[in-house]
Amino acid sequence: MSVSKFGADIIALLYTLVKAVKVYDLNNDVVQTASKKAVYSIKTLLNIFSQVQLVRYMDYVFFNKERLRFEIDGYASLQFIHDKLKLLGIKSLSFLPGIDKEELIIFASNFIGEKKIFKKDYASSKFKHITVEFSTEHDEVPDFLRDGERIKRTYFKALKVTKNLMQNLWMNQPVDVKSSRRIIYNLIDSLTQDEFGLLALTAIKNLDDYTYNHSLNVGILSLALGQRIGLSKKSLAKLGSAGILHDIGKVALPKELIYKSERLTNEEWDLLKKHSDYGVKEILKARGLDETGLISMTIAYQHHWNYNGTGYPVHKKDETPVLFSRIVRICDSYDAMTTPRIYQVVPYLPHYALRVMWKLRNVWFDPLLTKIFIQLLGLYPIGSCLELDNGEIALVIRENQGYPDRPIVKIILDRNEKKIDGKIIDLSMNGGTKIVKPIYAQKYGINPAAYFM
CA-CA distance, 260 to 266, in Å (whole number)?
A: 14
CA-CA distance, 145 to 92, in Å (whole number)?
A: 14
Residue 259 reports pLDDT greater than 90: no
Helix (H) or strand (E) holding 313: none
CA of residue 110 relative to chain centroid, distance: 32
What 3-state DSSP class applies to 199? helix
Write down the pLDDT at residue 139. 57
CA-CA distance, 186 to 438, in Å (whole number)?
A: 33
Write down the pLDDT at residue 61. 87
Full strand arrangement of the beta sheet holding 90-95 = 66-68, 60-63, 52-57, 90-95, 130-134
Nearest to 214 by CA among 39, 336, 132: 336
Q: For 114-168, what is each residue's pLDDT tens digit?
A: 888 888 888 876 788 999 998 876 655 555 455 567 888 889 899 989 888 888 8
Write down the pLDDT at residue 69. 75
Nearest to 289 by CA among 180, 184, 182, 177: 177
Residues 6+ apart with CB under 8 A from 365: 306, 307, 326, 329, 330, 333, 357
Q: For 69-112, what is each residue's pLDDT tens digit?
A: 766 667 788 888 888 898 898 989 999 999 999 999 999 999 98
Backbone conformation region of residue 383, classed left if phi is above 0, alpha if psi is from -120 to 50, else beta: left
Nearest to 438 by CA among 371, 350, 344: 350
Rg (CA), the chain: 24
Percentage of the chain lying above the pLDDT 70 cut: 94
Largest Cα–Cα distance of the chain, in whole Å?
78
Q: For 357-396, what is each residue's pLDDT tens digit?
A: 999 999 999 999 999 999 999 999 999 999 999 999 999 9
* Long-range Cβ contact pairs of 17-22 (< 8 A, separation 24 or more): 17/104, 17/105, 17/108, 18/80, 18/81, 18/84, 18/108, 18/111, 18/112, 20/108, 21/105, 21/108, 21/109, 21/112, 22/112
CA-CA distance, 346 to 40, in Å (whole number)?
A: 58
CA-CA distance, 239 to 223, in Å (whole number)?
A: 7
Q: What is the CATH code of the structural domain delimited by 147-377?
A: 1.10.3210.10
CA-CA distance, 333 to 353, in Å (whole number)?
A: 9
CA-CA distance, 290 to 162, in Å (whole number)?
A: 19
Cα first-last separation, the chain: 36
- Read off the pLDDT band of 208 (50, 70, 90): low
Task: Answer whether 264's CB lies under 8 Å from 343's CB.
Answer: yes
If you average pLDDT over every residue of the chain, what do you get?
A: 88
Dihedral (CA of 370, 371, 375, 378) sign: positive
Write down the pLDDT at residue 148. 62
User: What CA dihedral angle connects 277, 279, 285 and 288, to 10 degrees?
Assistant: -90
CA-CA distance, 375 to 369, in Å (whole number)?
A: 10
Q: For 295-346, what is each residue's pLDDT tens digit?
A: 999 999 999 999 999 999 989 888 999 999 999 999 999 999 998 776 666 7
Task: Answer whether 70's CB lies under 8 Å from 78's CB.
Answer: yes
Q: For 28-46, what is each residue's pLDDT tens digit?
A: 999 999 999 999 999 999 9
What is the model's pTM? 0.78
Write down the pLDDT at residue 5. 84
